Structure 1
Amino acid sequence: MATRNLYVVRHGAADPFGELTEVGERQTELLAARLARLPVDAVWHSPLARAVRSARIIGEHLPGVPVREAAELVDHIPHVPDEIPPAWAGFFDGYGAEEAASGARLADALTDRFARPADTETHEVLVTHAYQVAWLVRHALDAPPVRWLGMSCGNTAVTAIGYRHGMAPAVLLYNDMGHLPAELRWTGFGPGVRP
């Protein structure tokens, strides 16, 4: 039975201007070496600079594999809950109905394009952002839309989801950073204890 295999990855660590840092480039090199062991058919990336650069680095390790932009992978807020959890009130402060509707349309476009089976066996890498990784996992698990909140994703972490006709999606890996040494893990998060 054909499986559409998505390897959904967050871009490497970036600076405040959205450009990859040296750490982000090193993380992405290590991710690319890991992905080079897979039969990748295509690399899709967000139009934002940090994802574009990450995808190009990955593409350098995958000769002959097309590297293309997918607007659906852009960084956005995929869902604004009707009742915002108190811990998230500041995050959504000032977020209007028009922005929420736009985010919902982008989230639907993302799942419509990528979160579905294919007729042939495929292996695709999606280079995107933390919120989009969380949204795809939430969607694969058929969890309520609010569950995307709080699903942290490390830079260059791998999430693998398989889609087959007639079956529920299978989340095979989530936020796997096994290709990174300890000092390169958990970038993009605040201070605290990390596993």
Structure 2
Amino acid sequence: MASRLLYLARHGEQESAEVESPEIGLSERGRRQATLLGERLRSVPFRTVHHGPLRRAAETAELVAASLPGIPVYATELAGDHLPHDTDPAGLPAAYANFLAAFPERERVDGPRLTAAAVARFATAPLDGEDRELVITHNFLIGWLVRHALDAPERRWLGLNQHNAGLTVIRYSSSGPPSLIAFNDVAHLPPELRGTGLPSDYRV
């Protein structure tokens, strides 16, 4: 039986900025989150680590990889911050409909294409043996992969919000459907480093 354990982690907290930019890196809290995530994963025998091309994901991967010596690290557009699905806003709450309406036409095409390629690359069992991979990415892709694993309606990627440096694990097996092993796990973070990246009314 072949199986893959896919570890998904959202990047650490980014620096605050008035204008969104791909060059925005991690805040001091974000660097601490990433370092602790790496320590949490130190004993996992990963085959590879992948991360999105934006600076906040790359910096998170660099800090995590410091605890994973010898594991190859790759940047890939597949783990980038893109719209996973051109979701029909009909019947959605106004806040979601307004959120979706803000995406330009090009991203409505390119985002789902990249997400489909990410699913084909990561959300499958290997041909044989056991495989473990880590993908350091963004909120949207993790929400989509969780939705995909649970075979939930496509619009259910909305509202699946991840903590910065939160850890999700999905098992893909040649013998059955995917299994969600862990979701948004932040046991490696002290209370003062939890909750960043979530809407303010979600934080406890």
**Which category of TM-score, normalised to the shorter sequence, fits these structures?**
over 0.9
2:132 aligned with 1:126:
no
Aligned-pair CA distance for 1:135:
0.6
2:90 aligned with 1:81:
no
Tell me which residue corresponds to 2:113.
Answer: 105
Aligned-pair CA distance for 1:3:
1.6
* One-letter identity of the residue aligned with 2:14: A
The number of aligned residues is 195
Q: Deviations over 1:50-99 (max 9, x none)?
A: 11111111111111110111210100111122234123122122434442
2:190 aligned with 1:181:
yes
Instruction: Compute the RMSD of aligned alpha carbons.
Output: 1.4
2:43 aligned with 1:37:
yes
- 1:80·1:146 contact (CA, 8 Å) conserved in 2? no
- 1:162·1:169 contact (CA, 8 Å) conserved in 2? yes
Give the TM-score taking structure 1 as reference length: 0.94
Aligned-pair CA distance for 1:147:
0.4
1:13-92 alignment runs, 5 A limit: 13-15=13-15, 16=17, 17=21, 18-84=24-90, 85=92, 86-92=94-100
Aligned-pair CA distance for 1:38:
1.2
Tell me which residue corresponds to 2:125.
Answer: 117
2:179 aligned with 1:170:
yes
From 135, 152, 156, give the equivalent of 2:144. Answer: 135
Larger mean CA deviation between 183-192 and 88-97 belongs to 88-97
Partners of 2:118 and 2:202 in 1: CA distance: 32
Aligned-pair CA distance for 1:193:
5.3
2:19 aligned with 1:11:
no
| Secondary structure at the counterpart of residue 169 of structure 1 | strand
- 2:84·2:111 contact (CA, 8 Å) conserved in 1? yes
Aligned-pair CA distance for 1:191:
2.4
Larger mean CA deviation between 74-83 and 106-115 belongs to 74-83
| Secondary structure at the counterpart of residue 61 of structure 1 | coil
- After superposition, the Cα gap between the structure-2 partners of 1:141 and 1:71, relative to the gap in structure 1 and judged at 3 Å, is same
Give the TM-score taking structure 2 as reference length: 0.90
Q: Deviations over 1:88-141 (max 9, x none)?
A: 122122434442121111110110110000122111110000101001101111
- 2:124·2:172 contact (CA, 8 Å) conserved in 1? yes
Partners of 1:127 and 1:94 in 2: CA distance: 25
Partners of 1:159 and 1:116 in 2: CA distance: 16
Identity percentage over the alignment?
Answer: 42
Task: Flag structure 2 segments of 5+ consecutive residues without an equivalent.
Answer: none
Larger mean CA deviation between 141-150 and 89-98 belongs to 89-98
Partners of 1:144 and 1:190 in 2: CA distance: 23
Partners of 2:78 and 2:108 in 1: CA distance: 16
2:161 aligned with 1:152:
yes
